[in-house]
Structure 1
Amino acid sequence: MLGTVLLLLALAEPAFPSSASARRAEALKRLLEVFGMEDPPPPPAHFKQPPQYMVDLFNTVANADGVTKNPDILEGNTVRSFLDKTHGEKMRFLFVLSSVAKNEKILTAELHLFRLWPRVTDGPKRHHFCQVSVYQVLERSDLDAPGGKKLLAARLVSLQGSGWEVFAITEAVRDWTEDESSNQGLLVTVQGLGGSPLDPPPLQFASSQDHHESKKPMLVLFTDDGRRGASLPVAGFPDSQPQAPLPAELSVPRQARLRSTRSLDRLQPCQRHPLSVDFEEIGWSGWIISPRGYNAYHCKGSCPFPLGENMRPTNHATVQSIINALKLSEGVSSPCCVPDKLYSINLLYFDDDENVVLKQYDGMVAGSCGCH
């Protein structure tokens, strides 16, 4: 219920500006803490198109509201994407990982390179494949020295067609996050089947400078920040239970209406009600890509004796309800209407360095309500 109160505070228009502005600021600060942030990232200085891979991944993991629909896709709870910073230096790549938090556990790191259509050559086509190798650069000034580079991945790549090639480079990224100064970048080589040099190489990858945004080299990092909790997938997500309409009371004074509403709430059975969270209204739409908002839902209503199965009571709530009804013990209240299923949501957003991040947050949506 604390999260519900904070969201309502954050979204509410201040009635008394002298104190409400400070209250709103405190509520938004607490809301940022829920999302694991101290300050909201600034919106990108210029319009940026997020990598299609990250958009597709978000749509695979979550529904339109960001609620998790496939919990088995992500290995951890965070996916970060980084674009190459070498500004077009051929076959050399550098990714700045300063935005990776120290508490994040590196699970998998992938180098995504877009394979261009092969060059047209005058001579006969003797090969249909070439060998692509990815090296971690250890000595930028002397790559050919014995300790100048370390092989991370190598495989045969077709010389026909174009598309994305993905190479696992987890070992290198773990080195870089432990010691930022060790990040000398990556080197990619293209050789013949027997390791022979090919000049010019028949295979090229899109660079960060000369090609479209959608084809730029990218590092994708799967991590976990240790914040995972008990949260359920959206499968079987119940439809919203409509709230019973209230009688028109426009002529009744505000305090009387509030008292009347509270009385009606006590008469209504425990059920789930909508609670819309609009990121644009909060002021976060500049850095959040998807979703634009979501329905957190909240639980409201009474838990009267006797508790039926439709109230989804725990055994403890049933006993408490009996004790309360029979007045067997002084000071024992009736059970409370609270969420008994919680679902996670996913945010796709720009971080402080304008990298695109997909992050999953547990316990953000009330899936159903019960008497506890």
Structure 2
Amino acid sequence: MFQVVQEQSNRWSLTCSFLDLQTLRAGDEGWLVLDVTAASDCWLLKRHKDLGLRLYVETEDGHSVDPGLAGLLGQRAPRSQQPFVVTFFRASPSPIRTPRAVRPLRRRQPKKTNELPQANRLPGIFDDVHGSHGRQVCRRHELYVSFQDLGWLDWVIAPQGYSAYYCEGECSFPLDSCMNATNHAILQSLVHLMKPDAVPKACCAPTKLSATSVLYYDSSNNVILRKHRNMVVKACGCH
């Protein structure tokens, strides 16, 4: 596999950079995995350098072979057997904002809803907790899982890791709307204030998860691309 780095005036003449090589036997079947990371990195930095890839198939004695005759049909193949590229991009973490002082709520007309009232609307006995606004509330934190550190790279092909995130922080009363608290968490927090030794605080946990795709070898040494559910934390809340 080569990366096309320059096209000559003669449209049949190309300057290519070597990327990867695989040696196959005539009876081999299944997916062919080629590492094109160097080309991908180049294209990310300089988009105008994306002139495509070039695949060559040769016999052991150096004779060129039509890839189609070797079973590489490209876009002519059934959709489930067409070539594809697996890439992984890690987003830059967004800056963390410092907590602001809580502004007093304006009185509004009550909305018709099945949700329990927010904690800061409840009267009286909870005034003693209003001085703790500086605490770190329940939110999402950065967590990068490295498959290399886990010792999984002998069977995981790509990605080498991913941003999984995790949830951590206080779920103390009052539970603001930004904490995505459940009705049960609101009630549990109320009971905790009255009986702190008997009932714990609500817990900070994922409220929304998303899937991520992993390319790996199965027990029969086949290459499998599978989307695994509930791998990435998208949002956190109090439960």
TM-score for the superposition, normalised by structure 2 = 0.47
The answer to which structure, 1 or 2, has the higher relative contact order (CA under 8 A, 6+ apart) is: 1
TM-score for the superposition, normalised by structure 1 = 0.32
